[in-house]
Amino acid sequence: MLSAFRRRRPLRALAAALVLPAALAAVTACGNSSAPTSADGKTVLRYQGTTGQVQFWELADELGYFSKVKLQWESDTTSGPASIQAAATKQTEFGGAFNGAVVKLAAGGAQVRSVISYYGSDDKTFNGYFVREDSGITKGRDLIGKKVGVNTLGAHHEFLTREWLHQQGLSEDEIKQVQLIVVPPVNTEEALRSGQIDVAALGGVFRETAVGRGGIRPLFTDRDIFGQASYGSLLFRTDFIERNGDAVKDFVQGTARAIRWTQITPRDEVVAKYAQIIGKRGRNENTKLLDYWRSSGIPVAGGVIADKEVQVWIDWLERNGELPKGKLKAADLYTNEYNPYANGTYPPTAGPTGEVVAAK
């Protein structure tokens, strides 16, 4: 039943997902931002992970790419907005989310800065927005009064849905009539097939298994809108960066090298390494998700952030009247300073140990 899921109008959803009262600015602006250190003198970085998956920084740790930081897993999450709010409020040292959510967080007063891309779409990894084959929905206008199932509000699926509707020629008033329903990813396919929602946002294992069962078709994909691009980034608080610059630099270089490792290493080797990492951490996780790992999902070497990947969402929020024009600019919200694939330490065709390899 639809009552099992949360329903909100699109404009209210973004505000609700990333409400940042003035107190947040005070929280992030005061207090000691120097991180604790481990027994061997490394800076401890608390973070949130994802059940059954290996994040690039966890891979970097396993590959021995960090020399000055020690990771400390706090919990798991499937929500990017929740992850970056945890970082902004000092519950963790870093978090990751869709770049539109990062812009929204900064617009609300949080002093944060993105340092590396960590997810996106390429020729093998992407998100699709699916309808039932017999639905009759073929264009954006068909979604007026309909329901779209997304994994969380104020993040990738919501922004991309609204951007597609805009490109389809819908007015803002018409876009408001498209209902966004929060559905856990594991339940999204069933919600679509049973008619509880009209469109399902599906990615990774959920997309592949749903397509394999038949009876659904893609209405659009994120690649249809922006092509191959990085969509989300990892961020730290700016005061943390100022006080712990060496730790942030070590974290970024190691994570960038881990991203590149997945970009140039045969898939079977990557999956085997991920299975090994999941087994070692002993959290009783299902490794079957790894069967559906296809690629890094990041189309550039080492997760270097492109200015347009941030600016497009600033422009988007300004266009929709949700951000005062000129309040933010992309250059203030991210830096590639610490990324070895941006600063010349490794050329784009270099592997994670500096060797030159063929670009993939």
pLDDT at 28 over 70: no
What's the confidence (pLDDT) of residue 320?
A: 82
135: buried, middle or exposed (CB in 10 Å: 19+, 13-18, 0-12)?
A: middle
Cβ within 8 Å of residue 105, ≥6 positions away = 18, 20, 81, 84, 85, 88, 97, 112
Q: Which two tokens stand for residue 186?
A: 């594991």
Q: Residue range 293-311: average pLDDT?
A: 95
> What does the block give as tokens for 24?
């947040």
pLDDT at 359 over 80: no
Of residues 268 and 360, more confidence is placed in 268
Res. 321: pLDDT tops 60: yes
User: Would you say the C-alpha torsion 314, 317, 322, 324 has a positive or negative sign?
Assistant: positive
pLDDT at 34: 64
Looking at residue 205, what is its pLDDT? 84
Q: What pLDDT, on a 0 to 100 scale, did the predictor assign at position 295?
A: 95
Average pLDDT, the chain: 89
Does the pLDDT at position 203 exceed 80? yes
Q: What is the pLDDT of residues 88-131, one digit of tens each?
A: 999 999 999 999 999 999 999 999 999 999 999 988 898 999 99
Q: Are strands 147-150 and 199-203 parallel, antiparallel or unpaired?
A: parallel
11 or 222, which is more confident: 222
